[in-house]
Amino acid sequence: MRNAYLMLLLSVFLFATCSKEDDSPPDPCEGIVCENGGSCVNGVCDCLEGWEGADCTEVATPSAITINSITVTRFPPTRDNGGSWDFTDGPDLIVRLAQLSNVLYESDYFFEDAVFGEEYLYTTNIRITDVQAEYVITLLDSDTFGDDEFMGGYTFRLFNSQYTSLPPSKFSIGVEGSPTAFELDVSYEY
Ligand SMILES: [Ca+2]
Ligand SMILES: [Ca+2]
């Protein structure tokens, strides 16, 4: 009888100890890993800008992209036939950005008699909300008489949903060795 009483006391004690532990709420973030700098808040990942998904591993699609500047990093020294762009001096560089035939930007100044090997920067403020669309960038030699001459250009996309890392703030257009190349300084809105 005494043993039974002790057993009862012991069970009550154990029960009390167990229930005390059960009272503390489980950590809702236990076992949850948030990638790419994200942090867990109340069991849900709070992702850094540019990331989304349950564990912050998906690249978010920006709502807008602003092109802050366009730098001409390379231009062809001569025309395809070897002739110079202008009769007596260097080309006068103009940059144009378009979506299909809709011109979004054309520099209202040109770099007169550009020197081959130098880089030329145009400060821009082009805000694009159709972030996955195709754009065309063109380099022209501004001529006083006749049409401006096409020097080089590309069709490109600023963003696509296949990205697995954050889109770059310095966006290069034109592979190494190609006669014409650009670098865009861009910022993203989410
Ligand atoms: Ca010319
Ligand atoms: Ca010239």
- CATH number of 39's domain: 2.10.25
CA–centroid distance, residue 66 to ligand 1 (Å): 31
User: Looking at the structure, do residues 95 and 165 belong to the same domain, yes or no?
Assistant: yes
User: Looking at the structure, do residues 29 and 69 belong to the same domain, yes or no?
Assistant: no
CA–centroid distance, residue 86 to ligand 1 (Å): 4
Query: Position of tokens 């005390």?
Result: 20
How would you class 109 by CB atoms within 10 Å of its CB: exposed for 0-12, middle for 13-18, buried for 19 or more?
exposed
Q: Lowest-confidence range among 23-32, 128-137, 181-190?
A: 23-32
Element (H, E) at 22: helix 2-23
Can you give 44-109 as a three-state secondary structure string?
A: EEECCCCEECCCCCEECCCCEEEEEEEEEEECCCCCCCCCCCCCCCCCCEEEEEEECCEEEEECCC
CATH number at residue 125: 2.60.40.150
CA–centroid distance, residue 75 to ligand 1 (Å): 14
Q: Lowest-confidence range among 2-16, 43-57, 63-77, 108-122?
A: 2-16
CA–centroid distance, residue 151 to ligand 1 (Å): 10
Instruction: Find the ligand nearest to 142 CA.
Output: 1
Reported as a single tens digit per residue, the pLDDT across 11-43 is 554 445 555 556 778 899 999 999 999 999 999
Reported as a single tens digit per residue, the pLDDT across 137-155 is 999 999 988 899 999 999 9
Does the predicted model carry a pTM greater than 0.75?
yes
CA–centroid distance, residue 111 to ligand 1 (Å): 13
Using alpha carbons, select from 153, 159, 162 the residue that is nearest to residue 190: 159
Residue 48 has pLDDT above 90, yes or no: yes
User: Looking at the structure, do residues 19 and 75 belong to the same domain, yes or no?
Assistant: no
CA–centroid distance, residue 113 to ligand 2 (Å): 4
Residue 128 has pLDDT above 60, yes or no: yes
User: Looking at the structure, do residues 84 and 133 belong to the same domain, yes or no?
Assistant: yes
Q: Which domain holds residue 150?
A: 64-189
Which tokens in the block code for residue 78? Answer: 């001569």
User: Looking at the structure, do residues 88 and 180 belong to the same domain, yes or no?
Assistant: yes
User: Looking at the structure, do residues 55 and 68 belong to the same domain, yes or no?
Assistant: no
User: Looking at the structure, do residues 166 and 133 belong to the same domain, yes or no?
Assistant: yes
User: Looking at the structure, do residues 47 and 74 belong to the same domain, yes or no?
Assistant: no
What is the tally of structural domains in the chain?
2
Using alpha carbons, select from 121, 153, 159, 119 the residue that is nearest to residue 137: 153
User: Looking at the structure, do residues 30 and 69 belong to the same domain, yes or no?
Assistant: no
